[in-house]
Amino acid sequence: MYKLVIQGGIPLSGNIKTSGSKNSTLPIFFSSILADSPLKLANTPQLSDVSTTLRLLMDMGSNFVLEEDGSIFIDSSNLTNLRADYSLVKTMRASILTLGPMLAKYKKAKISLPGGCAIGTRPVNLHLDALEKMGAKIEVRNGYIYATAKELIGTQINFDLVSVTATENTLMAATLAKGFTTINNAAQEPEVTDLIYCLRKMGAKITGENTSTLIIEGVDRLSGTEYSICPDRIEAGTYLVAAAITGGSITVNNIEPDSMRSVIGKLIETGADIQTNKNSIKLDMKSRRPQAVNIRTSAYPNFPTDMQAQFMALNSIAEGNSTITETIFENRFMHVPELSRMGANLKLEGNTVVCKGVTSLTGANLMATDLRASASLVLAGLAAKGLTTIERVYHLDRGYEMIEEKFKMLGADIKRVQH
Ligand code: UD1
Distance 49 CA to ligand 1 centre (A): 16
Mean pLDDT of 241-250: 98
Rama region for 3: left / alpha / beta (φ>0; ψ in -120 to 50; rest): beta
Please name the residue whose Cα sits nearest to atom 7 of ligand 1: 23
Q: What is the pLDDT of residue 287?
A: 86
Calculate how far, in angstroms, residue 305's C-alpha sits from the geometric centre of ligand 1: 10
Mean pLDDT, rounded, of the chain? 96
Residue pLDDT, tens place only, 153-189: 999 999 999 999 999 999 999 999 999 999 999 999 9
> Among 73-87, 104-118, 259-273, whose mean pLDDT is lowest?
104-118
Calculate how far, in angstroms, residue 394's C-alpha sits from the geometric centre of ligand 1: 21
pLDDT-based confidence at 120, cuts 50/70/90?
Answer: low
The rounded distance, in Å, linking the Cα atoms of 108 and 170 is 15
Is residue 116 over pLDDT 60?
no
* Ligand 1 atom with least separation from CA of 96: 39
pLDDT of residue 115: 64
- Best mutation site among 159, 259, 328 for ligand 1 pocket (most ligand atoms within 8 Å of CB): 328
Ligand 1 pocket at CB < 6 A? 23, 26, 93-94, 120, 122-127, 161, 163-166, 191, 304-306, 328-329
Q: Is the pLDDT of residue 121 over 70?
A: no
State the pLDDT at residue 114.
83
Task: Determine the pLDDT at residue 417.
Answer: 95
Q: Which of 23, 71, 5, 61 is nearest to 237 (CA)?
A: 23
Ligand 1: which residue has its CA nearest to atom 25?
Answer: 122
- What are the residues facing 349 on neighbouring strands? 352
d(CA 238, CA 281): 12
Q: Tens of pLDDT along 335-349?
A: 999 999 999 999 999
CA dihedral 130, 133, 135, 141 (to 10 degrees): 60
Q: For 186-208, what is each residue's pLDDT tens digit?
A: 999 999 999 999 999 999 999 99
Has this prediction a pTM greater than 0.85? yes
Q: Give the strand order in the sheet containing 280-284.
A: 13-17, 249-253, 280-284, 273-277
355-358: long-range contacts at Cβ-Cβ below 8 A with a sequence spacing of 24 or more? Answer: 355/292, 355/312, 355/315, 355/316, 355/321, 355/322, 355/323, 355/324, 356/321, 357/292, 357/315, 357/316, 357/317, 357/318, 357/319, 357/320, 357/321, 357/322, 358/316, 358/317
Q: Whose CA is nearest to atom 29 of ligand 1?
A: 163
Compute the C-alpha angle 277/282/288, nearest 5°: 150
Q: How far is the CA of 368 from the centre of ligand 1 (A)?
A: 21
Mean pLDDT of 206-211: 98
Q: Which residue's C-alpha comes closest to atom 20 of ligand 1? A: 124
Type and span of the H or E element at 282: strand 280-284
Residue 173 has what pLDDT? 98
Q: pLDDT tier at 90 (50, 70, 90 boundaries)?
A: confident
Is 118 a residue whose pLDDT tops 90?
no
pLDDT of residue 70: 82
Give distance in angstroms: CA of 108 to centre of ligand 1: 24
Ligand 1 pocket check: which of 52, 163, 298 to mutate, most ligand atoms within 8 Å of Cβ? 163
**Residue-wise pLDDT tens digits, 364-386:** 999 988 999 999 999 999 999 99
Residue 117 appears among annotated catalytic residues: yes
For residues 8-36, give the mean pLDDT. 98
The DSSP bridge partners found for residue 415 are 5
Q: What is the pLDDT, as a whole number, of residue 122?
A: 75
Name the residue with the closest Cα to ligand 1, atom 11: 306
Catalytic residue selected from 117, 198, 230, 355: 117
pLDDT at 105: 97
